Amino acid sequence: MPKVSLIRCEDYEPMHVRQALLDVLAPLGGLDFVQPGMRIAIKTNLITAKHYDAAATTHPVMLAQLCQLILERGAQPIVGDSPGGPFLLSYLKTAYHVAGMGMVEKAGGILNENLKSRTVTFPEGKVLKTVTYTDWLTECDAVISFAKLKTHAMLGMTAAVKNQFGIIPGVMKSEFHSLYPKTVDFCDMLIDLNEFIKPRLALIDGVTAMEGNGPAAGTPRKLGCLIASDSVYHADVAAAEIIGRTYTQLPLLAAAVQRGLAPKSSKQLDLIGKIEAFQVSDFKNLDIGSISFGGNENSFFMRTIRNLIARRPGLDRTKCVGCGKCVSHCPRNAIHMKHNMPVFNVQACIRCFCCQELCPKNAISVKTTLLSKLLN
């Protein structure tokens, strides 16, 4: 059974982080799978060009210290991701710079600049039979997923499993939201990505997590926790309980449970460390619950009811600068500009919240209707 290791790390001081990484990895055999001459991919969370203090990206000190540990074993670490937006070198370099990834290079790690992609068949996938992914991963002998613990508007939480969505190149990620508009199918697609890439190790940076309007515009929340596991799914079970969620509240974790890849609770984990030591009772999670009335889901009546109660993007007009990026990132063309402000078509919206996730001014948030609050 995969192990899950939890360790306290109070801050991002380099020597504290190094020791925390050594301690959290020790029960898993450390980095013994890393052999001299290997190239190790570190799949970080680089959602967009955000400073690391915003807690939207994996902290660069974490990545830099992991790179040093890999280098000490005679291997070469390569850090990379495909942020939301165009997969262009200028855009990628900007994201690296703003997120403090220069620390990775100073530590001896390489920042990926390979922008090629490749497409392969994947018959083992449940819903994803063909995978188009960033080519730099094929140059590596093993993949380490180093995620950031955050709330997520669509899925409730983003951590180790969701982190692999970044292997999809650039704007193709928006296309995937359109290809898999149903949450259950989108979750199975994400699991298929993990089954395809098979991360050798999962790490979750929960030293400072993000609560509230995640995954890009929320509020940093100190948890002081570093998580490691042989399994991305088991790591997410621990992460979820730390922020007060169960698999029934998180569709991606529920899909992993249904497919036999994750247990229903931490009681079934091979756990080193205590979840209770890191749990917080007032973590500001996003309500992604839905209400079901039964009956014909595709009837006019049911579609009308769903639109009346469904969460939707909300605009803070004082922050919006009319850049139109929400329009360009919407996979269903459900947004148009009027008087230099976005207008949302709730009938066409599939609640992927790409607009909220990629708004550069944090002007879009997830709104729950009054009717939905009353019914819940």
Radius of gyration of the chain (CA): 20
Contact status, residue 225 vs residue 233, Cβ threshold 8 Å: no
Q: Which CATH class is domain 3-277?
A: alpha beta
Nearest to 27 by CA among 272, 206, 278: 272
SS3 (DSSP) at 72: coil
pLDDT value of position 371: 52
pLDDT value of position 294: 44
Q: Which residues pair with 336 in a beta bridge?
A: 343
Does a cis peptide bond (omega within 30 degrees of 0) precede residue 27?
no
pLDDT value of position 303: 53
What tens-digit pLDDT sequence spans the chain (376 residues)? Answer: 999 999 999 999 999 999 999 999 999 999 999 999 999 999 999 998 999 999 999 999 999 999 999 999 999 999 999 998 888 999 999 999 999 999 999 999 999 999 999 999 999 999 999 999 999 999 999 999 999 999 999 999 999 999 999 999 988 998 888 899 999 999 999 999 999 999 999 999 999 999 999 999 999 999 999 999 999 999 999 999 999 999 999 999 999 999 999 999 999 999 999 999 999 999 999 887 644 444 444 555 545 545 555 678 888 999 999 999 899 888 888 898 888 989 988 778 878 888 888 888 889 887 766 555 555 4
Give, in degrees to the nearest 5, the angle at Cα 41 between 191 and 2: 50
Token look-up 């998580």 returns: 227
What H or E segment, with its residue span, contains residue 152? strand 142-152
What number of other Cβ atoms are within 10 A of residue 297's Cβ?
Answer: 10
Q: How far apart are CA 247 and CA 156, in angstroms?
A: 10
What H or E segment, with its residue span, contains residue 187? helix 183-197
Does a cis peptide bond (omega within 30 degrees of 0) precede residue 215?
yes
pLDDT value of position 288: 79
pLDDT value of position 291: 42
Contact status, residue 43 vs residue 163, Cβ threshold 8 Å: yes
Q: Is 39 exposed, middle or buried (0-12, 13-18, 19+ CB in 10 A)?
A: middle
Contact status, residue 244 vs residue 280, Cβ threshold 8 Å: yes
- Which CATH architecture is the domain 300-375 placed in? 2-Layer Sandwich (3.30)
DSSP 8-class letter at 159: S
* Segments of the chain assigned to CATH 3.30.70.20: 300-375
The amino acid occupying position 237 is V
Prediction pTM value = 0.89
Nearest to 231 by CA among 251, 260, 274, 189: 260
What H or E segment, with its residue span, contains residue 366? strand 364-367
Q: How far apart are CA 252 and CA 257, in angstroms?
A: 9
* Segments of the chain assigned to CATH 3.40.50: 3-277
What H or E segment, with its residue span, contains residue 229? strand 219-229
